[in-house]
Each structure stands twice: as structure tokens, then as C-alpha cells.
Structure 1
Amino acid sequence: MKISTTYKAIFAAVTLSLALLSCSKNSDYQPIDISGLSIIHASPTTEKLNVYVDNNLATLNEFSFGSKVDYLNAYSGSRKFDVTKSGSNTSLKTQQLTLEPQFGYSLFVIDKLENIQFLLVKDDLTKPAEGKARIRFVNLSPDGGTFNLAINGQPTDLFTNKAFKEYSTFETIDAADKVTFNIKNSTTSAIETTLADIKIENGKIYTIYAKGLKSTADQTKFGVAIFTHK
């Protein structure tokens, strides 16, 4: 798989360490398989959360709704993931998930607190062509229904019929200084929410996700967010 320069940087420090170790006197040394892991708080709760990988804390103290941890180096293979409330040692969800070597992953913490769960999605980080970017859509609104993602002014929706926890592949779009994305009801085509005047940069890779609850009016209310894979 052709990977972007950004993604290659995920493994640069590890590769250097492995090269140094391979020259050591330990002839039994075996290379360590590494994956890239990004973590996104998409659970519509006002609680701050902690995410652990094999009992090691992987998130910041202020990991709140909408927060994202950029790619971390994680050992490949079957890993144990836990999520807790900040300041608590009680796991709200424990799950074994598998990371393949030299791939990047987005780990979304999703659903209401009482039903909290993980959604692990492999990231295709193939570098876009010149003048292009790549984008994916994920529906993470538990009560939002089924959505399309459209670029304002385009005759055809970019992605269609994505129910809760469903996600698209990455598709190529033109880089531009201002792009407006519309989240549309898949049945009626009505615009549910909009992400306006977003700069889409040449060579970058993005995920847009529907988030929050239609049934609330606080900071967990229904909306849309975008992040860059880095």
C-alpha cells in the first residue's frame, strides 16, 4: 500500500530505534510490529473519558466529547482496550481488537454512556494525487437516522445511506479554500446539518463524522465534525 508522507512519520522514530537495536549484541532481537492508532471521543456524554490499551493510558486528561488523539505507535496484534470515566478505574467497556502491522486505525469511542462501545476502522492513507484530497464519512449519531454526505453545489451526493456505526471508503475530492459539506436525511434529502467553508488542503486525508444526539440541546447535541489524519 502506498502511504502518505505524514503516515510514514508515524513509524520514523520506531524504525530508527529498531535499526539501532538490530546492531546491538543481542542476536536474539526480533523486530517489533507497530501500528498507528488515533482515538476519537464520539460518545455523546459530558463525561471526560480515559482509554487504555493493554492497561496503558492512551488519552489525555481532558479527553471530552469531540476530542481526538493523533496517531500513536501501538504494538500490532490482539490488544485489550478499556474505557473508563476520568478519575475512575472501573471499566465501562472492555474489548479485544486486532491491529495489523504498518496500518493506521481510527478508534472511535461511540454511543451513549450506558451503551458505550468501540468502533475500530482501518484507515487507507494512500497519498492523494496532486491538487486532490481524500475524505471519508462515518455516522456516529445514535439517534440521528440514516445520512448522506454531499458537497454543496454538487449534483450527486458523495456518500449515501450510512446508518449509525456505518462508514464509507475514502474518496478523492478537489482541494479548495472553501468547501461546504451537507449532512442530508437519506429518505427525504433534507439537510440536517452543515459544515461550512472548510479549507480542504492539497494532499491531506480527512474524516467527516455525524455526532451527538437529536434529543439533546447541550454540548452533546447533534452536529458534524471533521478531522485530518495525522
Structure 2
Amino acid sequence: MKNVNLKTLFKTFIAVVAVSAVFAACSKDKYEPQQVAGLSVIDAFPDTMSLDFYIDVTRVNNKKALKFNDKIDYLNLFPGTRTVSVARRNGNKAIAHERFNMAPGIGYSIFILDTLQTNEKRFLRTEDDLSAPAADKAKVRFINLYKAATSGVGAGLELGIAGKDTDLFTEKAFYEYTDFTAVDPGESITFNIKQGDAVITTLPNVKIERGKIYTIYAKGNSAATIDSLKLGAAIYTHK
């Protein structure tokens, strides 16, 4: 894909505001609140490149570059079709872009997957279930974003908890993700990411709090030569 100049590609302006903002539509003397969509952004592209993330023509990470494993918490935005794009830090040419429809009242996560010609899939957009967990529970989901050299039957990943006989999730292929499921809170939980019966990476000593919502994802690239870009796992709280 050719680089695209942000100034000429995007014609629609979007207002990106603080999470607590409320928009109102005025009709004579009657004010009606307008629902917004929520969007969080996670850089899951295993590379040392520093990025800027745009929603239409608005750069949303003005204070610092977006790097591998960085996350932008939920932003409020007007619903409708939005163009998301990434550019090299302080550049003005999009190196990847895609259009997504954002429905009012829904929270979404967009994972930056790749900015290179080698992969046609540049972004993964998920719809996030932000409803409160059941009483005395937390919620967790799993996403496989580990770019392995092998694929096909047997290449899916499992997520389990150390000491438990049954895995939380099984056989998730590259780019696949699960629904959220309830888990018990705990002060020091070790999550195992497995391929078949073999544990290939772990998230040790994780504190899972009652009432919170988490995403765990496998990350990295099996072909990476830099340790920080190799196979690993990450967890974040939806907020």
C-alpha cells in the first residue's frame, strides 16, 4: 500500500473529547443528550517504530509516541463511520488506515497489528462488553496476537490459570479473540498461555480485582531478534 498524505485523505473532522464528556443536541428549548461511542487503542505491532494514531484528522496521542504494547484508554467520539490511521511519529503520511463504523453507546478496542506491506490485515477492531461482572467476580477475555512462523492445525493458543485443570479458552488462532468470561479475583494469579499441552509464555503474579474487566493477549513475533519483540503476554484493564 502506498503512503497516503493525511491532509488530503481525510475530509471529515471528528471531535475527540475526555471520557467524562457529554454531548447535547439542541432543538429550540429542548436539550437531548447524544450518546457517544468509546474507543481504546493498543499498539500490538511488534516493532520498534514510534507511531501517531489518528481518528479522521485528529491525532489523539499528542503528548507521547505510541510504541509496542502502549495503550490509549477509552476516548469518547461521535458515532458513525470513522477513519483510523497510523503514521510515523510527527510525520503526516498514513502508513496504514481503515474505516470503521462506531455505534452509539458501544465501547470498542482497536489493535494496531501491522504497518507493513507483508500483512494485509493492519487493524483488529473488537466490540467490548463493558457490562459489570457478576457479583464478586471479574471478567477476562483472550486474544491471540502472536505472529508465529507456523500456522494451521494445532497452531491455536490456549489460556489457562496455573493450578486449574480446565483452560479458560482453547484453540484461538492468530487474530482470533474470545468473549469475556467470569473469573474469581485473586491477589497473585499466574496465567499460562499454551500451545497444546506446552506452556509457551506466562503472566505471573497478576492481581485480578473484583468488578474489573481485563483483556489478556499473546504478543510478539517468532521471527523477532529483539527480546522485547519476541513471544510474550500482556494484560490491561478496560478503563
TM-score, with length taken from structure 1? 0.86
Matched residue SS, 2:21: helix
Consecutive unaligned residues of structure 1, counting only runs of 5 or more, are 1-9
Q: Name the CA distance, whole Å, in 2 between partners of 1:91 and 1:26.
A: 41
- Per residue, is there more helix in 1 or in 2? 1
Match of 2:52 among 50, 53, 67: 50
Asked whether 1:211 is paired with 2:219, we answer yes
**Partner in structure 2 of residue 75 of structure 1:** 78
1:77-100 per-residue CA deviation (whole Å, 9 max, x = no partner) reads 111111111122111112110111
TM-score, with length taken from structure 2? 0.83
- Runs of 4+ deviating beyond 6 Å: none
Consecutive unaligned residues of structure 2, counting only runs of 5 or more, are 1-17, 150-154
**Partner in structure 2 of residue 221 of structure 1:** 230
**Partner in structure 1 of residue 4 of structure 2:** none
Alignment root-mean-square deviation, CA: 2.0
Question: 1:190: Cα distance to partner?
Answer: 0.4
Asked whether 1:127 is paired with 2:135, we answer no
CA contact (8 A) 2:19 2:74 kept: no
CA contact (8 A) 1:34 1:73 kept: yes
Q: Name the CA distance, whole Å, in 2 between partners of 1:112 and 1:155.
A: 39
**Partner in structure 2 of residue 202 of structure 1:** 210
Change (3 A) 1:174 1:79: same
Q: Percent identity?
A: 42
CA contact (8 A) 1:55 1:82 kept: no
Where do residues 39-188 of structure 1 align in structure 2 (5 Å cutoff)? Answer: 39-60=41-62, 61-111=64-114, 113-114=116-117, 115=119, 117-143=122-148, 145-185=155-195, 188=196
CA contact (8 A) 1:45 1:113 kept: no
Question: 1:111: Cα distance to partner?
Answer: 3.2
Judge which range, 79-88 or 110-119, deviates more.
110-119
> Matched residue pairs, number?
213
